[in-house]
Structure 1
Amino acid sequence: MSTRLFARALPSTSRALCLPHASTSSAVSRTSTSRIRLPLQPHSVLGVSVRYNSSVIDKARKEKILPEFSMAGKVCLVTGGARGLGNEFCRAFVQSGCTTLAIVDLKEDEASEAAQELIKHEMNAEDYNIIGIGCDVSSELSVQQAFRRVVDTYGRVDSVVASAGIVENYSAFDYPFDRIKRLYDINVHGAFFTAREAARHMIPMGGGSIVLVASMSANIVNIPQPQTPYNAAKAAVKHMAASLAVEWAKKGVRVNCLSPGYMLTKLTKTILAHDTELKKTWESLTPMGRMGNPEDLAGAIVFLASDASRFMTGSEIRVDGGYCII
């Protein structure tokens, strides 16, 4: 296979990052601000009184869901949320009762479009307050501006997922330095900036949950594709989650790590359509004999972001079909 398999797809993957927006005055689109809100019900999250729609409560009661798994009443933020796994995480939160969400991505128009698409088929779309924000996670200032817009709009943030990232495939000898630096700026520094800014806003409010998205590549060496900087970056993210978890444990902020295996995102499907042998190789190396579907991560991300994991911090959940155990 070509050592530049994913590099050719980079323009698509890199858009799953975030770019600074010139003005903070557009945090909420006209369509979202003009919506009529239904009466809200009081609820306590981390000791702070919040309100959310009764229709969400009724739905959860009818479906007999363990209350701790509910995302109702929580303000969530997902970087890289316009597409791919990040978008699946947003969808999982909405399906678990979240009605207040910020989708953060490289291009604000794409983030806003994803926000509208997410609630388009919901029966009570007026219940949802979902916004799209442009941000470059490799820029600390851009991340700070994005969080400021979220807090100015919603008053706080409860659950944050650092999902923005890129992957490329070059042999170690051929990997251009500028691309290595870019990968680390996005995958490692971006995760750190996101987590740090989230904690700064969570601690005064009593705490919250941060999930850093790493990869099974943090634990194993992928074959046959060469991707040393990516693997090392994801190992850094995994250890970063553990280190921050210890640093902020007594301040009410939990930091955990979600490590997916090979997932059939739209981009991956496009790539594998031109390399069926690679797909067979990946499947043969996975004990379950298949690649994962993005929705296979829904349960894990909701568990880590919700109160269901309230005594869990510094841990990693691998969702890899068993890849790492052999």
Structure 2
Amino acid sequence: MATRIAARHSGILRNALCRPGPIARSMSTAPPPPGPPKTLPSFSMQGKVCMVTGAARGLGYEFCRAFVSSGCTSLAILDLKEDEANAAATELLTFARATNSNVDPSSVKIIGVECDVSSERSVQKAYEDVMSAYGRVDSVVASAGIVENYSAFDYPFDRIKRLYDINVHGAFFTAREAARNMIPQGGGSIVLVSSMSANIVNIPQPQTPYNASKAAVKHMAASLAVEWAKKGVRVNVLSPGYMLTKLTKTILAHDTELRTTWERLTPMGKMGEPEDLAGAIVFLSSDASSFMTGSEIRVDGGYCII
């Protein structure tokens, strides 16, 4: 009896092994047709008007590339010098038309706008230009900022004032004008670019005013988020760690010991690439984060957790 049962089970097993199951059938199917990888529709920036300050170079420029890669075809590049903003806009226009090959090239519109974020009137004028060009603004990133390394005793007052005018007042002017234009249209997303320095004290370089300015930006975002939450305007913070921008690469080329120190203090053992911020900036600026406001995303290789 046991022998017959074993034989019957053996036959079932052989049939099961020989018969193509779901896995075997799926492995034999033809590969999917070529095309763009699928993702959640809420991450798309298609149909949104985006604006980025400090966007002619550095992280601001990379944020613009991320928006374009996510389908944005209406973009405003704000920077201190008009010619540099226009040059960046031209480069990004070429990139946009190549990236969004399925989009009518004539529908892609990227403009450069002169803007000194430390001047309230200059920021207001920039928004007037953007609204005139597009009629609305959906996602704004306040990326303009500077950093300097002086000891507290040696820091010239005029340079401290300039740093706060750009990093703190500039972020406030940018966010306030964004909300003034977003509230009548039903809402929008504002991202203030802070820094991991809002949470830790960097070493070995001294940069007290910078750290304090970024802490101010972080808390500013939380405060504005509460103030505008029921008006449809979300305000969040992106805080990068040590990133290999063109500027930092130039600095570290002459100070390899500093780079070694920064990498040693970062749990991941390396500095970030500007592209590492693309996912975070698109998430915060898109509908994918629609129930998120007053929050901070740190992209720092783990620096702040130790």
In the aligned structure 1, how far is the partner of 2:39 from the partner of 2:83?
A: 35
Query: Shift in Å at residue 213 of structure 1?
Result: 0.1
In the aligned structure 2, how far is the partner of 1:100 from the partner of 1:120?
A: 13
Q: What is residue 205 of structure 1 aligned with on the other side?
A: 185
**Aligned residue among 250, 253, 263 for 1:273:** 253
Consecutive unaligned residues of structure 2, counting only runs of 5 or more, are: 1-34
Q: Which amino acid counterpart does residue 92 of structure 1 have in structure 2?
A: A
**Aligned residue among 42, 45, 48 for 1:68:** 42
Higher helix proportion, which one? 2
In the aligned structure 2, how far is the partner of 1:66 from the partner of 1:120?
A: 26
In the aligned structure 1, how far is the partner of 2:215 from the partner of 2:39?
A: 34
Residue 85 (structure 2) pairs with residue 102 (structure 1): no
Give the structure with higher Rg (CA).
Answer: 2
Q: Deviations over 1:175-234 (max 9, x none)?
A: 000000000000000000000000000000000000000000000000000000000000
Q: Deviations over 1:103-159 (max 9, x none)?
A: 000001101110110122433543310000001000000000000110111000000
Q: Deviations over 1:10-42 (max 9, x none)?
A: xxxxxxxxxxxxxxxxxxxxxxxxxxxxxxxxx
In the aligned structure 2, how far is the partner of 1:127 from the partner of 1:169?
A: 44
In the aligned structure 1, how far is the partner of 2:202 from the partner of 2:36?
A: 44
**Aligned residue among 65, 86, 91 for 1:112:** 86
Residue 59 (structure 2) pairs with residue 85 (structure 1): yes
Q: What is residue 12 of structure 1 aligned with on the other side?
A: none
Residue 262 (structure 2) pairs with residue 282 (structure 1): yes
In the aligned structure 1, how far is the partner of 2:199 from the partner of 2:211?
A: 8
Q: Which amino acid counterpart does residue 122 of structure 2 have in structure 1?
A: S
In the aligned structure 1, how far is the partner of 2:280 from the partner of 2:82?
A: 27
Q: Deviations over 1:20-67 (max 9, x none)?
A: xxxxxxxxxxxxxxxxxxxxxxxxxxxxxxxxxxxxxxxxx8421210
In the aligned structure 2, how far is the partner of 1:64 from the partner of 1:90?
A: 21
Percent of residue pairs identical:
82
TM-score by length of 2: 0.86
Q: What is residue 173 of structure 2 aligned with on the other side?
A: 193
Map 1:223-262 onto structure 2 (within 5 A).
223-262=203-242
In the aligned structure 2, how far is the partner of 1:63 from the partner of 1:99?
A: 19
Q: What is residue 4 of structure 2 aligned with on the other side?
A: none
Map 1:1-326 onto structure 2 (within 5 A).
62-121=36-95, 122-123=97-98, 124=101, 125-326=105-306
* Aligned-pair Cα RMSD in Å: 0.9
Q: Deviations over 1:60-112 (max 9, x none)?
A: x8421210000000000000000000000000000000000000000011011
In the aligned structure 2, how far is the partner of 1:246 from the partner of 1:303?
A: 20
Change (3 A) 1:192 1:278: same
Q: Aligned with 1:73: secondary structure?
A: coil
Q: Aligned with 1:170: secondary structure?
A: coil
In the aligned structure 1, how far is the partner of 2:93 from the partner of 2:166?
A: 28
In the aligned structure 2, how far is the partner of 1:96 from the partner of 1:210?
A: 17
In the aligned structure 2, how far is the partner of 1:301 from the partner of 1:214?
A: 12
In the aligned structure 2, how far is the partner of 1:71 from the partner of 1:104?
A: 19
Q: Which amino acid counterpart does residue 56 of structure 2 have in structure 1?
A: A
In the aligned structure 2, how far is the partner of 1:275 from the partner of 1:63?
A: 41
In the aligned structure 1, how far is the partner of 2:301 from the partner of 2:37?
A: 28
In the aligned structure 2, how far is the partner of 1:117 from the partner of 1:85?
A: 15
Kindly report structure 1 stretches of 4+ aligned residues shifted beyond 6 Å: none
In the aligned structure 2, how far is the partner of 1:275 from the partner of 1:148?
A: 43
Query: Shift in Å at residue 292 of structure 1?
Result: 0.2
